[in-house]
Structures are given as C-alpha cells and as structure tokens.
Amino acid sequence: MNAPAAAALPRLKLPVGLQSLAKLRSEHCYYVDKTGLILDLIESGTHYFLSRPRRFGKSLLIDTFKELFEGNRPLFEGLAAESRWDWSRRYPVIRLSFSGGVSPAGTGLAQRIRDNLRVNRESLGLPLPAGLPDDDLPGNFADLIRQAHRSRGERAVVLIDEYDKPILDNITDPVVARQMREGLKDVYAVLKDTDEHLKFVFLTGVSKFSKVSLFSGLNNLTDLTLDPRYSALCGYTDDDVDTVFAPELPGLDREEIRRWYNGYNWLGTSVYNPFDLLLLFRNRQFRPYWFETGTPTFLVDLLAARRPFTPDLGRIVATDTLLSTFDVETLQPEALLFQAGYLTIDSVWEIPGRRELTLKYPNLEVQASLNDSLLRHLSGSAEIPEPQISRLYRVLLAGDVPALRPLFHAFFASIPHDWYRRNALSGFEGYYASIFYSHFAALGLDVRVEDTTNKGRIDMAVLFGGVVWLFEFKVVELTPQGHALQQLKDRDYAGKYRDRGEPIHLIGVEFSREDRNVVGFEVETIPATRDSAAVR
C-alpha cells in the first residue's frame, strides 16, 4: 500500500551524513526533534552512557548537547527545548571524538587524545598547563576540566563520541586492543577525579565494555542503553516518519518501509536507522544501505567459528548482563550481534534479580544481508551463493517444486572439496539445514523455523507467493532414509495452514555427511481449496 500524498507539505533537504546541528538547521534540512528527551535526561541526572549501533545519529546527539549547553538559542527555535532551557547560563563544553579512528602503530592513540585536548583548549581560549609534560594525557585532561570551570564560572560539560572505536578497530588483534583499552582507561578515570568541576558527562559508543576494564571507579555513570524511556533517543520512530518525513512518502510502499528498516528496540519505542531511511528517500529504492557500509568480517568469522545453526540466530535468548557488556578477552557473539545492531530485543522474561531477553532480527535488511554473508562463509566462497539465491527466488515465484532438488544439489556439489578438508563446519548436524535456511532468509522471505503445531515442530515453514512450503530435514546417517516426508504427514503439520486455502508443499529433505549433499528429496502437494480467495 502506497503512502498517502502530502502535497501540502514542502520537501526539505535530506540531512544525509550531517552530524552538525548548526549545519542541519541553517541548510533547512528535515530534523526530528529529540530536544524534549534530551532535557528530560539533563534534568534527571548528570553522568550517562549510551550504546547504539553505528550510523544511528550518536554524533548528531552529542553535537545537540554541545549547542544546548553553549546556549546557541537560535538553533533551537521552534523546538521543545526553546521554552524549557535557561538560556542565561552558558557552560564550557569539552568534546572528545574518536570517530575518525586511531592508527594502531606507535603513539596513534596518544596523538589522537593530544589533538582532542588541543582543539578544546583553543576553542575555550585556555592556556597550556604549567609544569605538566605533554605526554601526561590524564593530567592534561584534568587540568583542562579544572581550567574550564574556573575561567567560565560554570562547571564543565564533557561529551565523548565513539569512546570505544580505537578498541573496536583493533579487536582482531588482542594485544593492540588491550593497549587501546588501557590508554583510554587512564583518560576516562579523570572523570571521577574531577567530578566537582563537572556539570554533565555523556559518552556514546557501539559497545559497552565492562566497568571493571574501562570505567574503573566511575560508579556514577548511568547506562541508558536498555532504559525504555530513552529507546528512541537515537533513530526515527514510526510517528517521525509519518509526520516529519511525510513529503517523502508518496510513491513508496509504507508497509515495505517498515519491513525493511523498522524494528530496532531497546525495551521501549521501536525505531528506524536514520541512515537507511535518508538514503531510501534520496534514491527511492529499497536496498541494505546500512549493512553495505561495513559489516565487520571478524564478526562473521567469529560466528562461523562457533558453528552456528543459522536459524537460531533470530531467536537467541540471553540475560541482559551477557548482552550489555563484553571485553577484549571475552568476545561473546550474542553481545556483539546485539550491540552492533544485527539483533534487537523481541521480548523480555523477568524473575526477581534476573532478566532474560529474546532477540530477533530487527528487520528485513538485516535478516537478508546477514544470512547472505553467512552463506558465503558456510560455502567457502563469495561467488557460489550469489547466482544460487537469485535462482531460488525464480523457482519459488514460479512454484516449480521439482526444480528445488537439482538447485540445492548443484549448490552443495559446487562447494570445493578442499574447503571441507580445511573446515569443521560441515561436521555438525545443523550445517546442511543452516545452508538451506540461509538461502531463504537471504531473500528476506517470511521464514519460520521450528514452527510450533499441536503435534510437534515443523523444521521450517516458508510463506511466499500464495504458497506454503513446509520442510523437514534429516541426516541419513542419524535417521532412516525416507523418514523426513513421512514425519510431515504423520504429524499433520499441514493442518496449521489449511485454513489459508493455499497450496501446501510438504518437502522432506535428507542429507548425507558422507556424500556431502542432498540424497533424498520427497514432495507431496496439498492443492489449494476452492475458497482460497475468500480465505485470503
């Protein structure tokens, strides 16, 4: 369904890549007003941390804090903050940013910190400290905070953008990553020692490193990551899309926008990734814009090393403690997937003193793109899956059930023998079913794994093109051949979908570890009922 016309509203400039509030406002760009939430935050505390995935507007949020505390009222005309903020007071703002990355060689981190301190001294008009050596970075940072307070008569505001990027950029080299962590730890410890000179502290990043490893002693840092009140502090809500961006909606399928890009959730209001939406509105095409900007290879490698049953990735259950922290020595795939934005919260189960979160893919973009990446890894080649996925879509669109067996047989046969020899992936029971699932998931279809019925669980159900596809997977070395289809029939798995009135294909797929391929593929089709049109 296409979005309604919004001819009465003028189209503004799309703020693609803009991280400056002044530039965004002066160039007449669309702006989603977060200043009401920002003031709620300032009024309720002083030291905060927020973890959000990359390209979620964290840098713009930091810049908005900066402009607000510096008292730049013209930038807030017509916004929620204009009538609530005391514009008579102006605070000295110290802003540190590691978004540009840090060279791991030599003194790269020290030089970046030194540059940050120099830029802030110049903007505040403060002299270099007397008697402090240039390489005493914590001492220089502490002196900057104290001088800022004394020179302006107001306590300083410290804003730190991408606080963890030097570590994450080097996460595949634990020695360098630990060096980055220790260097940053010394600087962040200053925030505790200079607390009497601080009005407000806000740190953002992608990951949450443990307080023991990176924020030792900084016990007054409030973590907003899973605070439902601030779930929408970064990102666009459904209401934002329908109001602020209403002029961009005509010609685009509103429900498809939701399926592709909505769904990120941190226990509150779900949001869209701003980067995706802005590029969709500019290019008028649905594409995995966010995913294409840089999914870390190490994450896919780490997942593959853990030999994942890929259908399980979209239904992981973990405690919030596990998801909210990790460190260089303890890289948990669940925490990485959640913090980096590849999984989000689906539901919560709580008992006294413990909370378990069930995770899911946030949207179609992430589901399809992550499975596409994993499929390349599972097959040992970046080239093998690409044409295969396109062929699968055409086969499903045509309803050509017999074509599925040769299609998957050819795929498994194309995986190099040397890859099997060098990898243990094919040795685990879920490997072949994972390959099968990831093909369908990479197309962004409605795929349901372990689909519950009153007789048991269907291994995989796919709803596409007015047809229901039900799959049962077996490994013949573990189960007698010919049992897969029979299980679908004996347990009447089709019963769950009969009232849809659509054709139902029962497909028993059997794999052989020895043959490394599909060795059994039986199909039985239940025709559509006459009243299928009425049911649909």
Q: Is the pLDDT of residue 137 over 90?
A: yes
The domain boundary residue, chosen from 246, 261, 292: 292
pLDDT of residue 464: 93
CA-nearest of 466, 468, 482 to 519 is 482
Q: Is residue 5 part of a domain?
A: no
Measured CA to CA, the distance from residue 271 to residue 251 in angstroms comes to 22
Q: Which domain holds residue 107?
A: 33-230
Q: Is residue 305 part of a domain?
A: no
Q: Is the pLDDT of residue 195 over 70?
A: yes
Q: What is the pLDDT of residues 304-338, one digit of tens each?
A: 666 667 778 888 888 888 777 777 877 788 888 89
CA distances from 500 to 350, 364, 494, 531 (A): 36, 24, 11, 9
Percentage of residues in the chain with pLDDT exceeding 70? Answer: 88
pLDDT tier at 302, thresholds 50, 70, 90: confident
pLDDT of residue 332: 80
**In 443-503, alpha helices (H):** 483-490
Average pLDDT over residues 162-178: 88
Is the Cα torsion angle 467, 470, 476, 480 positive or negative in sign? negative
Highest mean pLDDT among 54-63, 174-183, 410-419: 54-63
Average pLDDT over residues 333-354: 89
The beta strands (E) that lie in 283-440 are given as 317-319, 344-351, 354-360
pLDDT tier at 530, thresholds 50, 70, 90: low
Are 174 and 257 part of one and the same domain?
A: no
pLDDT of residue 334: 84
pLDDT tier at 516, thresholds 50, 70, 90: confident
pLDDT tier at 217, thresholds 50, 70, 90: low
Q: Is residue 311 part of a domain?
A: no
The CATH number of residue 48's host domain is 3.40.50
pLDDT tier at 252, thresholds 50, 70, 90: very high
Are 176 and 278 part of one and the same domain?
A: no
Q: In sequence order, what are the beta bridge partners of 492?
A: none
Average pLDDT over residues 28-32: 96
The beta strands (E) that lie in 28-92 are given as 47-51
pLDDT of residue 418: 53
Are 219 and 275 part of one and the same domain?
A: no
Could you tell me whether strands 47-51 and 222-223 are parallel, antiparallel, or unpaired per DSSP bridges? parallel
pLDDT tier at 535, thresholds 50, 70, 90: very low
Report the number of distinct structural domains present in the chain.
3
Could you tell me whether strands 317-319 and 354-360 are parallel, antiparallel, or unpaired per DSSP bridges? antiparallel
Average of per-residue pLDDT values in the chain: 87
Q: Is the pLDDT of residue 504 over 80?
A: yes
3 state DSSP class of 340: coil
pLDDT of residue 362: 95
Q: Is the pLDDT of residue 508 over 50?
A: yes
Q: Is the pLDDT of residue 83 over 90?
A: yes
Q: Is residue 89 part of a domain?
A: yes
Structural contact between residues 208 and 320, judged by C-beta atoms closer than 8 angstroms: no
Average pLDDT over residues 177-197: 91
Lowest mean pLDDT among 102-116, 130-144, 373-387: 373-387
pLDDT tier at 532, thresholds 50, 70, 90: very low
Q: Is residue 12 part of a domain?
A: no
The domain boundary residue, chosen from 251, 274, 292: 292
Are 407 and 436 part of one and the same domain?
A: yes
pLDDT of residue 533: 43
Lowest mean pLDDT among 180-184, 377-381, 410-414, 437-441: 377-381
pLDDT tier at 414, thresholds 50, 70, 90: confident
Is the Cα torsion angle 43, 48, 53, 57 positive or negative in sign? positive
Are 262 and 142 part of one and the same domain?
A: no
461 Cβ neighbours under 8 A, 6+ residues apart:
447, 448, 451, 468, 469, 470, 471, 497
Structural contact between residues 144 and 187, judged by C-beta atoms closer than 8 angstroms: no
DSSP 8-state code for residue 13: B
Average pLDDT over residues 231-253: 97
Q: Is residue 461 part of a domain?
A: yes
Average pLDDT over residues 398-403: 91
Q: Is the pLDDT of residue 107 over 50?
A: yes
Q: Is residue 203 part of a domain?
A: yes
Q: Is the pLDDT of residue 380 over 70?
A: no
Are 260 and 371 part of one and the same domain?
A: no
Are 439 and 517 part of one and the same domain?
A: yes
Query: ∠233-235-237 over CA atoms, to 5°?
Result: 95
pLDDT of residue 1: 52
Q: Is the pLDDT of residue 196 over 90?
A: yes
Q: Is residue 6 part of a domain?
A: no
pLDDT of residue 420: 52
Lowest mean pLDDT among 112-121, 376-385, 499-508: 376-385
Are 400 and 380 part of one and the same domain?
A: yes
Amino acid at 250: P
Average pLDDT over residues 76-80: 97
The domain boundary residue, chosen from 230, 256, 283: 230
Average pLDDT over residues 41-68: 96
Q: What is the pLDDT of residues 382-394, one digit of tens each?
A: 666 778 888 999 9
pLDDT tier at 6, thresholds 50, 70, 90: very low
Q: What is the pLDDT of residues 350-368, one digit of tens each?
A: 888 889 999 999 999 999 9
Are 271 and 139 part of one and the same domain?
A: no
pLDDT tier at 30, thresholds 50, 70, 90: very high
Are 79 and 213 part of one and the same domain?
A: yes
Check residues 291 and 70 and name the one with the higher pLDDT: 70
Are 165 and 260 part of one and the same domain?
A: no
**What H or E segment, with its residue span, contains residue 369?**
helix 364-379
Check residues 536 and 13 and name the one with the higher pLDDT: 13
Are 387 and 410 part of one and the same domain?
A: yes
205 Cβ neighbours under 8 A, 6+ residues apart:
51, 58, 162, 163, 164, 165
* Burial status of residue 134 (CB atoms within 10 A of its CB: 0-12, 13-18, 19 or more): exposed
